[in-house]
Amino acid sequence: MGIQITPSLLNADFANLSAEAARIPSADWLHMDVMDNHFVPNLTLGAPVIEALSKAADQPIDAHLMIADPDRWAPAFAEAGAGSITFHVEAAAAPVRLAREIRGQGARASMALKPATPIEPYADLLPELDMVLIMTVEPGFGGQKFLDLCLPKIRRTRALLDQVGGDVWLQVDGGVSVETIERCAEAGADTFVAGSAVFGADDPGAMVETLRDLAVSACGH
Ligand code: DX5
Ligand code: ZN
């Protein structure tokens, strides 16, 4: 898989999610941020909203679960129609069992790491996953400043994924914009979440293509 742009709808108009999705027709996925006010200090939406949007939108749903007890709740998001489900490893009691359960339901299984969580303890889990998400802000809110301190971890994760082989995607999320996307692509990311950069733009659809062009030229694909 090459470069993918997966806009976050956290900064979109929540009263018109399907219309917002239609403004970004070339987005590869719709990134939906699920927050529970336990794992992060914010509260957003749950499986019923994902289910409604998965029926109304053309793009598949990339559900980012920033919630406590994903072992308990993640399967409901597969049932709701999400094509990719990301759990935080800091919150998962049994990440291998959880990844297998998500895959068993026919969805892609993805593991997220907060900025201070290292990848190395999880190196042996990588073959169980379809994607790794490296957070480049502390999760919880859109519009935060990109943390450059996460770039070495993106590089180390890319090196581990290259060792493992296969096609595990490497996603970055938080503060991704025209200013920062090239740094992420050069470090080895291939899947890019952008919230405020896309939905704060005059033309969100054009911004998706601008971000894609920058990432493609930065990684030389
Ligand atoms: C933050 C969320 C992100 C957020 C990104 O916790 O996981 O997906 O929407 O927003 P920006 O791109 O504005 O940092
Ligand atoms: Zn997210």
Overall average pLDDT of the 64-81 stretch: 98
- Ligand 1 centre to CA of 11 (Å) is 8
Beta bridge partners of 88: 112
Is 167 assigned a catalytic role?
Answer: no
Read off the pLDDT band of 221 (50, 70, 90): low
Per the confidence metrics, is the pTM higher than 0.85? yes
Ligand 1: residue whose CA is nearest its atom 10: 142
Residue nearest to atom 4 of ligand 1 (CA): 142
Choose the catalytic residue: 33, 36, 62, 130. 33
Distance of CA 25 to the CA centre of its chain: 18
Q: Is 33 a known active-site residue?
A: yes
* Interval 125-149: pLDDT, tens: 999 999 999 999 999 999 999 999 9
Q: Ligand 1 centre and the CA of 156: distance in Å?
A: 22
User: What CATH number has the domain bearing residue 153?
Assistant: 3.20.20.70
Query: Could you identify the atom of ligand 1 that is nearest to the CA of residue 64?
Result: 7
| Predicted pLDDT of residue 1 | 79
Domain region containing 20: 4-219
* Side-chain-side CA neighbours of residue 28 (13 Å): 16
Tens digit of pLDDT for each residue in 16-72? 999 999 999 999 999 999 999 999 999 999 999 999 999 999 999 999 999 999 999
CA–CA separation, 28 and 22 (whole Å): 12
DSSP letter string, 94-144: -HHHHHHHHHHTTSEEEEEE-TT--SGGGGGGGGG-SEEEEESS-TT-SSP
Is residue 220 over pLDDT 80?
no
Question: Based on the number of CB atoms within 10 Å of its own CB, is 71 exposed (0-12), middle (13-18) or buried (19 or more)?
Answer: middle
> Tell me: the pLDDT tens digits for 155-211?
999 999 999 999 999 999 999 999 999 999 999 999 999 999 999 999 999 999 999
Average pLDDT over residues 107-116: 98
Q: What domain count does the chain have?
A: 1
Alpha carbon distance 125, 131 (integer Å)? 11
Q: How many CB atoms lie within 10 A of CB 56?
A: 12
d(CA 76, CA 78): 5
